[in-house]
Amino acid sequence: MTMRRAAAPAVLLLAAMTPRAAAAQGDCFPPKDSHEAKTLAVASVPLAFSPLSAPFRVPHTTFRLGVEGATVPTPDETTRTATICRPGKGPEKTQFLFAIPRPRAELLLPWGMGLEVSWIPPVRLAGVRANLVSVALGYRAGIGKAALGLRAHGTVGLIRAPITCDTDALADPASECFEGTRSDDRYHPNIFGLDASVGVPVAGGRLRPYAGVGYNILHPRFQVNFTNSQGSTDNRKIEVDLARFVTYAGASWVVRPAWEVSAELYLSPSDALSGRMAVRRGFGS
C-alpha cells in the first residue's frame, strides 16, 4: 500500500508530461513573430477577397461575371526558413505560380446590397491543387458624387502543394528531404475580414478611381505530408492566429456599358504587396 502511494505522484507527473512532450515533437504553434507566421501571412495576401472594383450603385438588379488574377509575392529566403517548427531544414518553396486566377460572380441590388462569390476548382496547375471558396456581403451607398462600399468577406478551403519537400529538395544531399517522396502538404488559409472603400467617378463616370482599408483575421492551418527515405511519414500540423490591417487602391474603367476592367494594388504593410486585375461583364434585369 505504501509503495502504491509513493508511486502515485510519479504516475501523475508522467501523465502530465506526456501530452507536452508529444506536442513538442509533433504539432507546432509558432509565435506571431516567427518566420513560419510571417510566411503564412504573406501567403494570405493574394488570396484575400478584396473588392477589385470601385463601389457604385445600380439602378436595377444586376448580375456580373468576371475573371481576375492576383500576383503572388514571395518571401525572401530568410523568412522562408523555419525557426521554430523545423529549424535547420532550409527554406520552404512558396513560389509555384506568378499569379492566382479565379472567377467571380456578383449579384448587385438597387437598394445597395451585394453578394459576391468565387470558387477556385480543384484542378492541379504547376504542382498546386486548390479548392477555395470566397464569399463577400456588401453595401454600397451614394455620398454626393462619391460612393461608399462596406464589405464583410471570407476565404476558406484547401491548397495542396509540395511546399516542404519539392523535387529539387529530394535531390539535395544536404536536405532532410533527400531521396524521400515529394511532399503533398496542405494549407488552409482561413481568411476573414471587413473593408471599406470610397470611389469618385470621373470622365463622365467611365473611370472610377477608388481606395480602401480593411482588417483581416487570419487562421492559417498547415499540415506537412512527407515520407522520408527511411519510410517515416511526417504529418505534423502548424497553426497560428494572426490579424492584419490592409489597404488597397485601384480604378475601374467602364469600357462599354456592360463591360468593366479593373486594376488594384492590395497591400498588407507588414507582409507584402499584390497586384490585381479583373474583367467583368454585367447582365441587368
Q: Which pLDDT score, from 0 to 100, does residue 6 have?
A: 40
Contacts of 145 (CB under 8 A, 6+ apart): 200, 201
Q: Enumerate residues 6+ apart whose C-beta is below 8 A from 246.
A: 48, 193, 195, 213, 214, 215, 216, 266, 267, 268, 269
Question: Distance between CA atoms of 174 and 75, rounded to whole angstroms?
Answer: 22
Say if CB 227 and CB 233 are below 8 A apart.
Answer: yes
pLDDT at 5 over 60: no
Query: What is the predicted pLDDT for the residue at 85?
Result: 87
Contacts of 51 (CB under 8 A, 6+ apart): 136, 138, 149, 151, 195, 197, 210, 212, 248, 264
Q: Which of 261, 253, 242, 282 is nearest to 48 (CA)?
A: 242
Model confidence at 22, pLDDT cuts 50, 70, 90, reads: very low
Give strand pairing partners of 256.
259
For the segment 15-38, the average pLDDT, to the nearest whole number, is: 67
Residue 81 lies in a domain: yes
Residue 202 DSSP class? B
Percentage of the chain surpassing pLDDT 90? 65
The whole-number pLDDT of residue 7 equals 40
Decide if pLDDT at 166 tops 90.
no
Cell of 210: 477608388
Cα three-residue angle 121-51-139, rounded to 5 degrees? 115
Residue pair 170/195 in contact by the 8 Å Cβ criterion: no
Is the predicted pLDDT of residue 18 greater than 50, yes or no? no
pLDDT in tens, 84-139: 987 767 788 888 889 999 999 999 999 999 999 999 999 888 889 999 999 999 99
CATH of the domain at 121: 2.40.160.20
Which range is least confidently modeled, 5-14, 178-187, 190-199, 243-252? 5-14
> What letter does residue 205 receive in the DSSP assignment?
G
Secondary structure letter of residue 235 according to DSSP:
-
User: 17 lies in a domain?
Assistant: no
Asked if residue 4 has pLDDT above 50, the reply is no
Whether residue 5 is contained in a domain is answered as no
Three-state SS at 44? helix
Residue 98 lies in a domain: yes
pLDDT, tens only, 211-238 = 999 999 999 999 999 888 888 888 889 9
Report how many helices (DSSP H) and strands (DSSP E) the chain contains, helices first: 3, 16
Flag whether 218 is in a domain: yes
* DSSP 8-state code for residue 218: E
Lowest-pLDDT range, 88-97, 139-148, 183-192, 231-240? 88-97
Confidence of residue 60 (pLDDT cuts 50, 70, 90): very high
**pLDDT score at 192:** 98
The answer, yes or no, to whether residue 268 has pLDDT greater than 70, is: yes
The number of distinct structural domains making up the chain is: 1
Least confident of 31-35, 79-83, 227-231: 227-231
The total of other beta-carbon atoms located within 10 Å of residue 276's CB is 21
Domain that holds residue 195: 31-284
Half-sphere exposure of 102 (CA within 13 A, CB side): 26
Residue 237 CA to residue 217 CA, distance in Å, equals: 20
If pLDDT is split at 50, 70 and 90, which confidence band does 23 have? very low
Distance CA 214, CA 246 (A): 5
Of the ranges 8-17, 68-77, 197-206, which one carries the lowest mean pLDDT score? 8-17
* Residue 25 forms part of a structural domain: no
Task: Check pLDDT > 50 for residue 147.
Answer: yes
CB 151, CB 195: distance < 8 Å: yes
Q: Does a structural domain hold residue 170?
A: yes
> Is 99 part of a structural domain of the chain?
yes
pLDDT-derived band of residue 24, with 50, 70 and 90 as boundaries? very low
Q: What's the Rg (C-alpha) of the chain?
A: 23
pLDDT at 285: 62
Whether pLDDT at 39 is above 90: yes
Arithmetic mean of pLDDT over the chain: 88
